[in-house]
Structure 1
Amino acid sequence: MSVGQLRDNAITSLFGRPKIVIGVIHSRALPGAPRYRGGPVAEIYDYALAEAQRYAEAGVDGLIVENHGDIPFLKPDAIGPETAACMAVMTERVRVATGLQIGVNVLANGALQALSIAQAAGASFIRVNQWSNAYVANEGIVEGPAAIALRYRRTIGAEAVRIFADVHVKHGAHAITADRSIEELARDNEFFDADVAIATGQRTGNAATPEELATIAGATSLPVVVGSGVSEGNVERIMSTASGVIVASSLKKDGVWWNPVDPARARSFMRVVEDLR
């Protein structure tokens, strides 16, 4: 019996169904980030709420709040309290406005910040792009935070917050882990107490290959969610193997992440999903 088999299925526990769709709110740049243009922070929250409403009206099961506008991203130890404070307010407002299950992703790899935000805002889960191994990322060498993050989660009483962890992460060179198979990397996340394994492509908007998805699903007893590159054209294939998808870019105007959600694209995507489940 694997470690993951000793835990409940986080997807069905949180969402009440075996196949789910999670939309991503790509926040505008927050105070302190190079692309922040000043003005009332409330306008950033209003944008996030409008995005959340578009997703909710289309019928998604959950949302992730992500500081994607804070380019270039900082290494975890350099992410400041101003980012955590803004994201906590934004996340709580999105949760209250939609009533959906809400997750948090603090870029880059801010697991401790994400846990504190989730606990303060009542979010259900966090996404961590590099959970159990070290990678050479855009930000430099980033170490997996699992050991520290799980102890911090216990310290702040946030054990109910689930961990969604990427396998074979995007935006990272795999030189450090090149001698280890994808199966081993998937099992590492399970052994280090992640609740959900995320399969991704090489960068935002790129899909995991069918072979990689099948390999990850076969290597772990954790539910597997595809975390990038999901579209109306491939969701049927993906959902035949995965327990869910995390989607954003393909539902945005013109299919690019920095644009607002296109309600027509989102509704059309969800109609396809509803026919599958």
Structure 2
Amino acid sequence: MMNAKKTIIAIVHVAALPGTPKSRFSIDQIVSKALADAKLLEQGGVDAIMIENMHDRPYLNRKVGAEVVSAMTAVAVALRSEINLPIGIQILAGANREALAVALAAGLNFIRAEAFVFGHLADEGMMNSDAGELLRYRKQIGAEHIKIYTDIKKKHSSHSLSADVSIAETAKAAEFFLSDGVIVTGSATGEKAAVSDLQEVRKAVKIPVLIGSGINAENLAEYWDLADAFIVGSSLKFDGNWENDVDAARVKQFMDIVVKLKNRFVE
């Protein structure tokens, strides 16, 4: 049945990359740490993995240096060679073209893109929408097989300029602009999305709806019927802190609940 077909996308938070304020590891160490987390997640039974440079704070607005792109490519290639799951990538902040280029070079399956429609004021400053440019770029480089999942009314951002545009209308705009799926989040990392927002979005669009923050073992059942996929990061780490390594025990606890929820719908 349809409700059993849910996707768990687990995040690998790549260690701070060269040139960023908190960088302290070599490329080999960065790759090794990312691969160790990814293997634990794969062994724990998640459906897909997404790499993200969240340790690179403070983030740049849309543009990142060649050192970041090349380091993320090194991580992506290493994971692709050893992980037998779909893999995606997000490059903060809003470096959607760079993420797409890395995904193509490394053979990844999807990217997470912010500010796809309706630009917003982010931590990094004003971020204009890039749907037209991004999809043209995807066409130009022959990457149309790579899915682009797009945040709407994204966390860590002010949306006062588009306050008169509902989250449902924002989702419709993303669908009209050929998004492969929309991501609904809470107000910050680890904060859960509003149930009412998810209900509105699911009614508004036919493309997949993903939850992008705040999902954990305690609330997964509450959100199970409201989304097609769940992006999970903080709750799978030691102490539920995104800065820590993946905790195999937390992964098992979470995936045991996933299995129970899926089995509810098996005829």
User: TM (normalized to structure 2)?
Assistant: 0.95
Aligned residues: 260
Pick the aligned partner of 1:251 from 230, 236, 247.
236
Query: Equivalences for 1:43-192 in 2 at 5 Å?
Result: 43-77=29-63, 79-192=64-177
Secondary structure of 2:226's counterpart equals: coil
Query: Amino acid of the residue matched to residue 104 of structure 1?
Result: I
Q: Aligned AA for 1:69?
A: H
* Partners of 2:141 and 2:247 in 1: CA distance: 38
Distance 1:200 1:95 in 2: 27
Distance in 2 between the 1:106 and 1:263 partners? Answer: 25
Q: Deviations 1:1-52 (Å, cap 9, x if unpaired)?
A: xxxxxxxxxxx9xxxx821100000011001111112x42100000000000
1:177-230 deviations in Å (ceiling 9; x for gaps)? 111111111111101111011110011100101111111111111111111000
* Structure 1 stretches of at least 4 aligned residues deviating more than 2 Å after TM superposition: none
Measure the CA separation in 1 of the matches of 2:144 and 2:229.
23
Deviation per residue, 1:136-178 (Å, 9 max, x gap): 0000000111111111111110000001101111110001111
- Matched position secondary structure for 1:76: coil
CA deviation profile, 1:86-120 (whole Å, cap 9, x unmatched): 11110121122111100010000111000000000
TM-score, structure 1 normalization:
0.92
- Structure 2: which 5+ residue stretches go unaligned? 263-267
Matches within 5 A, 1:232-243: 232-243=217-228
Letter in 2 for 1:172: S
- For structure 1, list consecutive stretches of 5 or more residues without a partner in the other structure: 1-11
2:14 counterpart of 1:23: no
Query: Are residues 1:276 and 2:252 paired?
Result: no
The AA in structure 1 aligned to 2:230 is: V
- State the 1:129 CA deviation: 2.2
Query: 1:9 maps to which residue?
Result: none
**Equivalent of 2:212 in 203, 227, 233:** 227
CA distance in 2, matches of 1:155, 1:29: 31
Distance 2:214 2:244 in 1: 16
The AA in structure 1 aligned to 2:66 is: P
**Backbone CA RMSD of aligned residues:** 1.1
Corresponding residue for residue 203 of structure 2: 218
